[in-house]
Structure 1
Amino acid sequence: MTDTVLRTPAAGRLFSRPAAVASCVGFVLIGMLQALYGPAIPGLRADYGLSPPGAGLGLSLHFAGGVVGVLAFNAVHSRISNRTLLAASYGLMAAGCTGFALAPGWPLALAAAFLGGLGFGGIDYGLNQLFAAGFGDRSTAMLNVLNAHFGIGAVLGPTVVAWAGPHHYAYAFGGCAVLAAALIPGTRGVRTGCVSEERPARASARLGVFGVLAGFLALYVLNVAVEAGVGGWEPTHLQTVGYTAAAAASATSVYWLMMTAGRFLVVPLTLRYAPERILTVCAAGMTACLLLTLVKGVAPAAYAGVGLFIAPVFPTGLPWLTRALPQAGRAGAWVIAASMVGGVAAPPLLGAGIEASGIHALPWLLSVLSAASLAVTVWLIRLTRRYVE
Structure 2
Amino acid sequence: MTTTREADLPEGGKPLLTTVAIVASCLAFAVIGALQALYGPAIPALRDEYGISPAVAGLSLSAHFVGALLGVLIYHLLRGRLNNRVLLGGSYVLMAAGAAVFAFSPSWALALAGTFVIGLGFGGIDYGLNRLFAIGFGHRSTAMLNLLNGHFGIGAIAGPALIGWLGADCYPEIFVGTGVISLLILVTLGGVAAREPVPAPAGDGLPGGTRVLPIIGVFIGIYVLHVAVETGVGGWEPTHLEAVGYGAATAATATSAYWAAMTIGRFVAVPISLRWSAPSILLVCCAGMAGFLLLAAVPALAPYAYFGVGLMIAPIFPTCLPWLNRAVPGVAGAGAYVIAASMIGGVAFPPLLGAVIGAVEVRAVPLLLFLLAVICGVLSLWLRRNAPDPGGVPGPREPARTDSVPTP
Q: TM-score range by the shorter chain?
A: over 0.9
1:193 counterpart = 2:195: yes
Unpaired runs of at least 5, structure 2: 1-8, 392-408
Distance 2:91 2:202 in 1: 31
Distance 2:212 2:11 in 1: 26
User: What's 2:102 paired with?
Assistant: 100
Question: Which of 127, 130, 143 lines up with 2:129 in the alignment?
Answer: 127
User: What's 2:38 paired with?
Assistant: 36
Q: In 2 relative to 1, CA 137–195 (structure 1 residues): closer, same or farther, beyond 3 Å?
A: closer
Q: Which amino acid aligns with 1:37?
A: Y
1:215 counterpart = 2:218: yes
Aligned residues between the structures: 381
Deviation at 1:324, TM superposition (A): 0.5
User: What's 2:169 paired with?
Assistant: 167
1:228 counterpart = 2:231: yes
Distance 2:196 2:229 in 1: 37
1:312 counterpart = 2:302: no
Distance 1:95 1:315 in 2: 28
Asked if the contact 2:231/2:350 (under 8 Å) is kept, the reply is yes
Distance 1:186 1:90 in 2: 12
Q: In 2 relative to 1, CA 204–342 (structure 1 residues): closer, same or farther, beyond 3 Å?
A: closer
Deviation at 1:164, TM superposition (A): 1.7
For residues 56-205 of structure 1, the aligned pairs below 5 Å read: 56-196=58-198, 199=201, 201-202=203-204
Q: Provide runs of 4+ in structure 1 moved above 2 Å.
A: 7-12, 192-207
Distance 2:206 2:121 in 1: 39
Deviation at 1:11, TM superposition (A): 3.3
Distance 1:313 1:276 in 2: 10
The C-alpha deviation readout for 1:338-358, integer Å capped at 9, x for no partner, is 101111112111111110010
User: What's 2:358 paired with?
Assistant: 355
Deviation at 1:171, TM superposition (A): 1.2
Distance 2:327 2:206 in 1: 16
Deviation at 1:194, TM superposition (A): 4.5
Deviation at 1:111, TM superposition (A): 0.8
Q: Secondary structure at the match of 1:191?
A: coil
User: What's 1:3 paired with?
Assistant: none
Asked if the contact 2:258/2:307 (under 8 Å) is kept, the reply is yes
Distance 2:302 2:199 in 1: 51
Asked if the contact 2:68/2:122 (under 8 Å) is kept, the reply is yes
Answer with 158-167 or 232-241: which moved more.
158-167
User: What's 2:273 paired with?
Assistant: 270
Answer with 80-89 or 139-148: which moved more.
80-89
Deviation at 1:13, TM superposition (A): 1.7
Distance 1:203 1:170 in 2: 52
Deviation at 1:193, TM superposition (A): 3.5
User: What's 1:369 paired with?
Assistant: 372
Unpaired runs of at least 5, structure 1: 1-6
Asked if the contact 1:83/1:188 (under 8 Å) is kept, the reply is yes
Answer with 81-90 or 126-135: which moved more.
81-90
TM-score if structure 1 supplies the norm length? 0.95
Distance 2:176 2:388 in 1: 49
Deviation at 1:385, TM superposition (A): 4.2
Deviation at 1:252, TM superposition (A): 0.5
Question: Which of 253, 258, 263 lines up with 1:255 in the alignment?
Answer: 258
Identity of aligned residues (%): 53
The C-alpha deviation readout for 1:5-64, integer Å capped at 9, x for no partner, is xx9463342111011000000000000000001111111111111111110111000000
Asked if the contact 1:86/1:126 (under 8 Å) is kept, the reply is yes
Asked if the contact 2:67/2:120 (under 8 Å) is kept, the reply is yes
User: What's 1:379 paired with?
Assistant: 382
Distance 1:311 1:79 in 2: 34
Asked if the contact 1:12/1:136 (under 8 Å) is kept, the reply is no
Answer with 44-53 or 184-193: which moved more.
184-193
Answer with 187-196 or 297-306: which moved more.
187-196
Question: Which of 295, 318, 325 lines up with 2:328 in the alignment?
Answer: 325
Q: In 2 relative to 1, CA 325–110 (structure 1 residues): closer, same or farther, beyond 3 Å?
A: same
The C-alpha deviation readout for 1:162-212, integer Å capped at 9, x for no partner, is 112112211111111111111111211111335548636337999721100
User: What's 1:4 paired with?
Assistant: none
The C-alpha deviation readout for 1:218-237, integer Å capped at 9, x for no partner, is 00000000000000000000
